Amino acid sequence: MEWPKGDIEASLRSNPAVRIGQFLQLDRDLGNAYGWKQMRIDLPDTWAVTSVKVEESGFAVLLNDQRVYRVSRDKIGDLSFRILDGGRKSETELQALWRPYESKG
């Protein structure tokens, strides 16, 4: 199933004032539809993110060391839940949660 790229924007954010590290924010224009409008997914603070982009099947996080993490639209909810479940995650925990999404080659 394709993701309606024109209706979804991805951006890298952080808020040091309230001690929130870097995170991916997905914003969706729902129009007359229902569902999620905004989603925040924490990223490891040690990642040097060069860009985030919406793709047909989900989104990608590109790092300056050439690593790419891709999450398909059917896995986004699970990743978001696992990151949020049980409170704030350590750097090591976030890296472990993101590891399965690293693109191989």
**Mean of the pLDDT values across residues 44-53?**
94
What per-residue confidence (pLDDT) applies to 87? 86
Give the C-alpha separation, 35 to 55, whole Å: 19
pTM for this one? 0.83
Which domain, by its residues, includes 73? 5-101
Residue 49 and residue 12 in contact, taking contact as beta carbons nearer than 8 Å: yes
Give dist(CA 68, CA 33) in Å, integer. Answer: 31
Total domains, the chain: 1
Report the percentage of the chain scoring pLDDT > 70.
87
